[in-house]
């Protein structure tokens, strides 16, 4: 019997406890062993829960119990998740997590501690919710010469964008709905301001480059500035606006960015709606592969957590593990990143736009002069925007990059 302890009895912790219990026979068939949830650590008691008798409030009970083989950290946040994870790994316990914040901040340390103790540190649920993406990247595609990993990495914002712009609902109602469904972070600013997606593209970047970038070094924009007029402009261009995390590898340069992008209809990510996420890996000789599925929610995320658990039990820890180290300077300055942009200005005429940006494609807009530029570097785009503002007194209403 394999004894596990779950840290955090919230959306993911509750879903994981239910899945381990409901799928007891499948797990036994797959691994040849039974799984027993020995403890659940939380701050609160849950007297009405069928797991009420497993609730503990002191992590040391779990740490000091030699019968606990695997700790499933699904509390969220950096602390005390960091301290609990390090202590568990040093005690020779496997650790599984869905907590991308702690992986993005300390994943390198945890992998080293796990290796030193001869145990596993697994985090499949930390990126893409229920989508198997970490394992396939490590084991099936990483040997390619990868030039880009990009994805819709946040279920809450994709859900909000879909509800707002396809169904006409308000931002506030759409966010509330996402919270009620258990998709959003405890502080949903992490979702809507792009921080959560930045943590996830950080982890994916570490997998493909071997270098973990400090998340605050990633250029990050959220969805709060996207206007209805921008969505209508995208539709006129046959495109959709999606919050993307992108890691673009050009020779020695690694550009990492989270921002809303306009996607053409032939993009693999174009049709990914609602809480669904997708990760596209582009490289040679594989071309493009995409991993797609539900990006948040109790059931899908629990599925990824339990996948890690069954793999640890079934494989006897003998499988591919990621390796990466922290590297402050691994992300290149995005000023050299080249892309076309959709730009909307108030108070600028078409002639003055052309005089600054050269040939552009104008897009009909009710409230601004809107256009799509030729591909140019981030630095050039910013300089031209600043010129139009300072020389013509124009006001920038939107700028959204194109994929």
Residues forming the site for ligand NDP (CB under 6 A): 8-13, 41-44, 74-76, 80, 98-101, 125, 129, 182-183, 185-186, 296-297, 301
Q: Is 300 in the site for ligand HSE (CB under 6 A)?
A: no
Helix-helix angle 378-392:350-357, to 10 degrees? 140
Q: Is 124 in the site for ligand HSE (CB under 6 A)?
A: no
* Chain centre distance of CA 192: 12
Q: How far is the CB of 51 from ligand HSE (least distance, A)?
A: 22
Q: How many CB atoms lie within 10 A of CB 319?
A: 14
Q: Is 378 in the site for ligand HSE (CB under 6 A)?
A: no
- CB closest to ligand NDP, residue no: 10
CA neighbours closer than 13 Å in the CB half-sphere of residue 198 = 22
Q: Looking at residue 238, what DSSP letter applies?
A: T
Q: Is 191 in the site for ligand HSE (CB under 6 A)?
A: yes
The residue among 185 and 202 lying less far from ligand NDP, judged by its C-beta, is: 185
Strands 239-250 and 253-264: antiparallel
Q: Is 324 in the site for ligand HSE (CB under 6 A)?
A: no
Q: How far is the CB of 390 from ligand NDP (least distance, A)?
A: 42
Cα-Cα-Cα-Cα torsion 174, 179, 182, 185, nearest 10 degrees, comes to 110
The residue among 123 and 183 lying less far from ligand HSE, judged by its C-beta, is: 183
Residues paired with 361 in a beta bridge? 372
Taking CA atoms, 306 is separated from 13, 25, 187, 247, in Å, by 11, 13, 25, 28
Q: Is 154 in the site for ligand HSE (CB under 6 A)?
A: yes
* Chain centre distance of CA 346: 34
Catalytic annotation, pick one of 38, 200, 240, 384: 200
Distance in angstroms (rounded) separating the CA atoms of residues 163 and 155: 12
Q: How far is the CB of 119 from ligand NDP (least distance, A)?
A: 21
Q: Is 162 in the site for ligand HSE (CB under 6 A)?
A: no
Q: Is 200 a catalytic residue?
A: yes
Distance in angstroms (rounded) separating the CA atoms of residues 99 and 78: 8
Q: How far is the CB of 134 from ligand HSE (least distance, A)?
A: 13
Q: How far is the CB of 184 from ligand HSE (least distance, A)?
A: 5
Partner whose binding site includes residue 80, from ligand HSE, ligand NDP, none (CB under 5 to 8 Å by kind): ligand NDP
Could you say which of 295, 357, 384, 388 contacts ligand HSE (CB under 6 A)? 295
Spell out the alpha helix ranges (H) of 144-224.
155-167, 171-180, 189-192, 195-209
Q: Is 185 in the site for ligand HSE (CB under 6 A)?
A: yes
* Tokens (6 digits) for 329: 């300077």
Spatial contact of 325 and 356, defined as CB atoms under 8 Å apart: no
Could you say which of 82, 183, 342, 345 contacts ligand HSE (CB under 6 A)? 183
Q: How far is the CB of 127 from ligand NDP (least distance, A)?
A: 9
Q: How far is the CB of 14 from ligand NDP (least distance, A)?
A: 7
Spatial contact of 169 and 208, defined as CB atoms under 8 Å apart: no
Partner whose binding site includes residue 43, from ligand NDP, ligand HSE, none (CB under 5 to 8 Å by kind): ligand NDP
- CB closest to ligand HSE, residue no: 156
Largest separation between any pair of C-alpha atoms in the chain? 74
Partner whose binding site includes residue 120, from ligand NDP, ligand HSE, none (CB under 5 to 8 Å by kind): none
Partner whose binding site includes residue 324, from ligand NDP, ligand HSE, none (CB under 5 to 8 Å by kind): none
CA neighbours closer than 13 Å in the CB half-sphere of residue 373 = 27
3-state secondary structure of 185: coil
Which positions lie near ligand HSE, rule CB under 6 A?
A: 129, 154-156, 183-185, 191, 196, 295-296
Catalytic residue positions?
200
């Amino acid at each position: 019997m394999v004894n596990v302890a779950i840290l955090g009895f919230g959306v993911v912790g509750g879903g994981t406890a239910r899945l381990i219990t409901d799928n007891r026979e499948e797990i036994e068939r797959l691994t040849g062993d039974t799984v027993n949830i020995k403890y659940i650590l939380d701050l609160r008691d849950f007297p009405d829960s069928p797991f009420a008798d497993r609730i503990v409030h002191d992590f040391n009970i779990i740490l000091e119990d030699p019968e606990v083989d695997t700790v499933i950290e699904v509390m969220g946040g950096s602390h005390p998740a960091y301290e609990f994870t390090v202590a568990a790994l040093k005690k020779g316990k496997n650790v599984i997590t869905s907590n991308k914040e702690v992986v993005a901040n300390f994943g390198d340390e945890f992998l080293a501690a796990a290796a030193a103790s001869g145990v596993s540190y697994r985090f499949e649920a930390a990126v893409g919710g229920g989508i198997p993406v970490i394992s396939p990247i490590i084991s099936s595609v990483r040997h390619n010469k990868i030039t880009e990993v990009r994805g819709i990495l946040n279920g809450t914002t994709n859900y909000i964008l879909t509800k707002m712009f396809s169904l006409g609902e308000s931002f506030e109602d759409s966010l509330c709905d996402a919270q009620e469904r258990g998709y959003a972070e405890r502080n949903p600013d992490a979702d809507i301001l792009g921080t959560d997606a930045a943590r996830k593209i950080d982890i994916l970047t570490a997998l493909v480059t071997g270098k973990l970038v400090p998340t605050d070094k990633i250029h990050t924009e959220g969805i709060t500035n996207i206007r209805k007029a921008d969505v209508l402009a995208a539709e006129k261009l046959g495109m959709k606006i999606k919050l993307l995390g992108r890691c673009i590898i050009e020779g020695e340069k690694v550009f990492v960015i989270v921002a809303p992008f306009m996607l053409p209809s032939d993009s693999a990510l174009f049709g990914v709606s609602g809480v669904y996420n997708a990760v596209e890996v582009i490289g040679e000789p594989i071309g493009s592969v995409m991993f797609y599925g539900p990006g948040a929610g109790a059931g899908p995320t629990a599925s990824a957590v339990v996948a890690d658990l069954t793999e640890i039990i079934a494989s006897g820890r003998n499988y591919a593990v990621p390796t990466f180290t922290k590297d402050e300077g691994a992300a290149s300055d995005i000023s050299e990143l080249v892309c076309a942009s959709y730009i909307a200005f108030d108070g600028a005429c078409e002639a003055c736009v052309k005089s600054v940006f050269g040939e552009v494609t104008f897009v009909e807009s009710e409230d601004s002069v809107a256009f799509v530029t030729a591909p140019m570097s981030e630095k050039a785009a910013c300089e031209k925007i600043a010129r139009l503002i300072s020389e013509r007194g124009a006001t920038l209403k939107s700028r959204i990059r194109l994929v």
